[in-house]
Amino acid sequence: MTTVLIIPALNPNKKLISLIDKLIGMGFERIVLVDDGSDDEYNEIFEEAYEYGCNIVYHDKNEGKGKAIKAGLKKAVRLYGKNNVFLTLDADGQHLPADVKKVAEVCMANPDKLVLGTRNFKEKNEPWKSKIGNKITSVYFKFETGVKCKDTQTGLRGIPEGLVDLALSAKGERYEYEMNFLVEAAKKTELVYVDISTVYEDNNKGSHFNPIKDSYRIYEKPIKYTSIAFFSSVADYVLFCVMLYYFRNMGVRGVVLATFLSRIASGGFNFSLNRKICFDSTNSAGSDATRYLELFVGQMCASAILVILLSTIGIKKQIGKIIVDTMLFFVSYKIQKEWVFNAKDKKQKVNRINALSTSTVKNGNIKVGNIQDRIYKTKMYK
């Protein structure tokens, strides 16, 4: 077992060559570099990396960091076998060679765990958008997994053999992939943290992270869940008002009936949208509806009981209702995600590593077959 480095790159500068040179000097001879659709002006960088001995995967267009990591990992497994540690790192100079070596050594000592190179975010040179982003993702990660991780966005990760299939099948093609994989990995194995240097070149201008688009991709599910919950509440209120007017001559019975019918209608609305839009369930509608109904009834009972209990210690019912329903909002999200729309008998489909897959050579229609390893005697870009 040895360490295989995987480096996704988009429009890298000369610092990538310097990094590769130093890594090779440290003994890292197995390097897979992914050209994720870089502009033509960067051809020289990849050509030089190839001359250094890097195995290169080419994408005709930018596919995203997640897809680049998967492509690099698939190539690495095909070339060197699965019984290795696969270490991903960024191409923008954020990871020092000494830190790469440190993480690799910890990986060898923990062959069944996910190893993360963890930065210190208390340093003054950290860009504000990185500081805020890291704090938000850490809170989100803790909520999703129950595991504390102060650097969920690190690109320096040691993937053991046991997590290769998960890394290849995790959802996402861009920056959301790293969070999706990390969340799933935390449920299967222990995370090991290795302190590394915090490096931001030119205030992190080399990053291709889009704060709006990529943040939405990372938090897509909770954003959809919150939006659907909001519109469901609006629907519940509007329907309640309409029915209350319709049953205006029925007194208390009218209020109870309006409340019940509006809640049932808004609950069905919420169920349908969450099932298809938020959690993308593939289970039968009947089984999902049964579990959702159990949660629905249980949540209503829990809300009433907890509000009453809070009132016994002096908290007004109106305030208690806000506290309890806010808490249940987050609890409901977890239950819907992990149980209601996630049948226990549903098997996760793992993408099969295709040994006969092909990689597209940049600037042409030539396909480089992966059936056997090749030694290229001509330059790729000519």
Q: Which pLDDT tens digit goes with each residue over 202-250?
A: 554 555 555 566 565 666 777 888 888 888 888 888 888 888 788 878 8
pLDDT for the residue numbered 48: 92
Q: Give the pLDDT confidence score for residue 56 in this predicted structure.
A: 93
| Pairing mode of beta strands 85-88, 157-159 | antiparallel
Q: What is the pLDDT of residues 311-324, one digit of tens each?
A: 888 888 778 777 88
pLDDT at 197 over 80: yes
Give the integer Cα–Cα distance in Å for 308 and 321: 9
Mean pLDDT of all residues belonging to the chain? 79
Question: Which one-letter amino acid corresponds to residue 225?
Answer: Y
Predicted confidence at residue 205, as pLDDT, reads: 53
Q: 3-state SS of the chain?
A: CCEEEEEEECCCCCHHHHHHHHHHHCCCCCEEEEEECCCHHHHHHHHHHHHCCCEEEEECCCCCHHHHHHHHHHHHHHHHCCCCEEEECCCCCCCCHHHHHHHHHHHHHCCCCEEEEECCCCCCCCCHHHHHHHHHHHHHHHHHHCCCCCCCCCCCEEECHHHHHHHHHCCCCCCHHHHHHHHHHHCCCCEEEEECCCCCHHHHCCCCCCCCHHHHHHCHHHHHHHHHHHHHHHHHHHHHHHHHHHCHHHCHHHHHHHHHHHHHHHHHHHHHHHHHHHCCCCCCHHHHHHHHHHHHHHHHHHHHHHHHHHHCCCCCHHHHHHHHHHHHHHHHHHHHHHHHCCCCCCCCCCCCCCCCCEEECCCCCCEEECCCCCCCCCCCCC
pTM over 0.75: no
Query: What radius of gyration do the chain's Cα atoms show?
Result: 26
Which two tokens mark 130?
Answer: 């990185």
Q: Which of 45-54, 196-205, 240-249 shows the lowest mean pLDDT across its residues?
A: 196-205
Mean pLDDT within 260-287: 86
Read off the pLDDT of residues 318-362 as tens digits, 9 standing for 90 and up.
787 778 888 888 888 888 887 888 755 444 333 333 433 333 334
